[in-house]
Amino acid sequence: MGAVLSLTSKLSASGSPIIHFADKPATLRVKKSDGSDDVDEVSINTLLETRCPSLFSDFKPLWWLPNGHFQTLYCVVGNFSKNDLIWYSRTYIRVAEGGTLGLDFTPADHSKIRDDAPIVVVQHGLTGGSYEAYIRAILSRACAPVEEGGLGYRGVVINFRGCAGVPVTSPLLYSAGHTNDTRNALMYIAHKFPKAPLLGLGFSLGSNVITRYLGEDGKVARLHAACVLACPWDIRANNEGLSTSFLGRHIYSRGMGSNLMKLLKRHLHVMAQDPDHYVARAAATTLKLKNPTLEDFDQAFTRVGGGPPPHFPFPDSEAYYIWGSSHNIVDKITVPFLAINAADDPVVSHVPMDGGGNGLVVMELTAGGGHLGWFQSGGQGYVDRWTTKPVIEWLKLFGDDVVHDTINRGPPMFTDEAGFLREEGRPELGVRVLEEGSIIDGTAVPSKTGTLQGL
């Protein structure tokens, strides 16, 4: 994709965002405000201008977080334990390959939520989970009751294998490009709530997974709309950006590499059960690394154990980065899609802004915000995120106002003799419930993770 903006741009951290619409923006069907069954047909750019005005507002960083480095580091060191309190009800699901995913639903008691309430389906960052403050900032508002100023929606966070206390039960982890775990989770969610529109929300690595999933599945994708924040897009180019700057290599890349190394060590007993397995050999090689960068870890392990055959293993990390990138697939997305990046993001320095010519895709670049930061004053000493309000407006637009063609998108499903929920024509997919109903404190980082928050 062209029109790439880099951190070398002379944009200040404060100022108006750049928003790109396709030359021919898509037209969407929207409910009329008079309460009738009639609908209007409105272009996506007009809809956002009138119903998502916060997208066009200036980002004004806190004076003590003036640039992307400070914004990003505050994600890691900030204390968010008293902000956006939230509780989850966890469901563990087993996928056909043998792995386990943890789905955290909120509100934990969802007996009072209507069956057709929109569901915000979240994919978190590199080694995060449902406890991350950037997730809670949005879900705490989207899933609050309407009478308390919320949207009254349901939320669910798809915790990657090994993250947020989810066990690893097969010799595979996850990666930026592997999308079958997302398909399995969405199949279960759509089956459990067949009347509910599904609204995707991604952060960093999770953004890349959602974008690839939508591009790969096209018209049979189960999400009805999606918003992604801080997507890494061209992973090879952005990894090069990290590797060629001092702070990028020694702070951010090593921080992410350290998080991944701790995750691997925590689940090594599963990875190494069969020492002759190719993933076990890769894990053994990885453990010999000292203070690895993200690229070091990806070269040693992710390219091998970040997903199943036939794509994995890759010959090297560069081949994995090229395959796993999402910048070249947005033209195939068939649902409304909003991407928000920051021009001073020290982790994602190359951001595509043309949307692949797709009329459903909207690309936004704020002048500042860092990587998953966007911290601004919320009044009376409260630290808020600029992204929260526009994302809530986007979710409300596509949860309440836009008329979706069909509620239950995706291929037909059936349950096989072993109790696995399956999709027709995709024998590699399958999911069954292992356990459900345990209550999770959304502000509590699982003990003994040792990983840094905010990444």
Whether 349 and 374 have beta carbons less than 8 Å apart is answered as: no
438 is known as an active-site residue? no
Cα 129 from Cα 158, distance rounded (Å):
8
Tokens of 35: 């309460």
Angle between helices 388-396 and 133-142 (to 10 degrees): 40
Long-range contacts of 266-271 (CB under 8 A, 24+ apart): 266/162, 266/448, 266/449, 266/450, 267/162, 267/167, 267/168, 267/173, 270/167, 270/168, 270/169, 270/170, 270/171, 271/168, 271/171, 271/305
Query: What DSSP character marks residue 31?
Result: E
| Pair 410, 188: CB distance under 8 Å | no
User: For residues 366 and 340, is the Cβ–Cβ distance under 8 A?
Assistant: yes
Q: Which pairing describes strands 413-415 and 421-423: parallel, antiparallel, or unpaired?
A: antiparallel
Question: Is 371 marked active-site?
Answer: yes
204, 317, 325, 349: the active-site residue: 204
Q: Which two tokens stand for residue 90?
A: 């966890």
Candidates 69, 178, 350, 371; catalytic one: 371
DSSP-assigned letters across all residues of 270-324: HHTSSTTSHHHHHHHHHTT-SS--HHHHIIIIIHHHSS-TTTPSPSSHHHHHHHH
342's tokens: 């920051």
Indicate the Cα dihedral angle 31, 32, 36, 37, nearest 10°.
Answer: -30
Decide if 253 is catalytic: no
- Tokens 């955290």 belong to residue: 104
Nearest-angstrom CA–CA distance, 114 and 16? 38
Of the residues 84, 217, 296, 345, which is catalytic?
345
Q: Which residues are catalytic?
A: 204, 345, 371
